[in-house]
Structure 1
């Protein structure tokens, strides 16, 4: 049996997918209200009955607030492939380095779309 927890984080930012044809709407500068959902899993629970205390995800909120919220993501990440898929991978790698229980990250740009990175 596997235990799973998730937590959502929100931020607003702009980006531009410059590799797309000029007539594609995403090639133009635009923004989203992003949702980042982090999933942590474990086969056992710690002494408090948690996979991980949600409070321990506070550094991710701080990272998002300081580095991503109300920023231009092309500048933040230093490249032009700033898709939801690439953001999911970026946040997964950031989390995995600090929270080894991280098993997946999902990123939403709209209420109807999600991209997930799960190695």
Structure 2
């Protein structure tokens, strides 16, 4: 079984490794949507795979580090493509939630990246 929780944050960035005339080379922002998926068997006692409140407590500090920030200034995100941001989040969250099985990161409602480890 898989549970999920959705988080949203707003950040600015620019992509330093695109051609000089590419529009993403200039500073711009996104309202990101992050969906965290956790797999497991529900506890016989609680009926939960994980308490959503515990999940929120683990993820929120990472979101707070990104929200209303320039992603290029975040350590490890010097080239903050959606792919690199997704991998960065995966490493941070996976360290605290071993049964993390998937994350989805959308930079717009129509485009994003999925990572499953």
Aligned to 1:62: 61
Which range moved further: 3-12 or 45-54?
45-54
Aligned to 2:42: 45
1:82 aligns with 2:80: yes
3-state SS of paired residue (1:60): helix
Deviations 1:37-90 (A, max 9, x none): 111001x2122111111011123113212x111000010134432111111111
Contact 1:85 1:115 in 2 (8 A): yes
Note the residue ranges of structure 2 that are not aligned, 5 or more in a row: none
Note the residue ranges of structure 1 that are not aligned, 5 or more in a row: none
- Cα RMSD, aligned residues only: 1.2
Contact 2:4 2:38 in 1 (8 A): yes
Aligned to 1:100: 98
- Residue 98 of structure 1, CA deviation: 0.5
3-state SS of paired residue (1:55): helix
The two structures have a TM-score, normalised by structure 2, of 0.92
Contact 1:19 1:80 in 2 (8 A): no
- Equivalent pairs, count: 115
Question: Structure 1's 27 and 9: CA in aligned 2 closer, same or farther, altered over 3 A?
Answer: same
